[in-house]
Amino acid sequence: MISIYTDEDVDVLIKPLLNAKGLTVFTTLDEGMLGRSDQEQLKHAVKLRCIFLTHNRIHFEELYNKLLKENKEHYGIIIAGHRNIYGLASRIARLFEMHTLENIKNNLWYI
Q: pLDDT tens digits for 13-52?
A: 999 999 999 999 999 999 999 999 999 999 999 999 999 9
pTM of this prediction?
0.95
Give the count of domains, the chain.
1
Please give the pLDDT value at position 73: 95
CATH number of the CATH domain containing 11: 3.40.50
| 8 A C-beta contact, residue 53 and residue 13 | no
**C-alpha distances in angstroms, 72 versus 13, 88, 93, 105, 107?**
31, 28, 26, 11, 11
| 8 A C-beta contact, residue 4 and residue 18 | yes
Distance (Å, whole) CA 111 – CA 29:
23
Residue 90 is part of which domain span? 3-110
Write out pLDDT tens, residues 61-109. Answer: 999 999 999 999 999 999 999 889 999 999 999 999 999 999 999 999 9
Helix axes 57-70, 38-48, angle to 10 degrees: 60
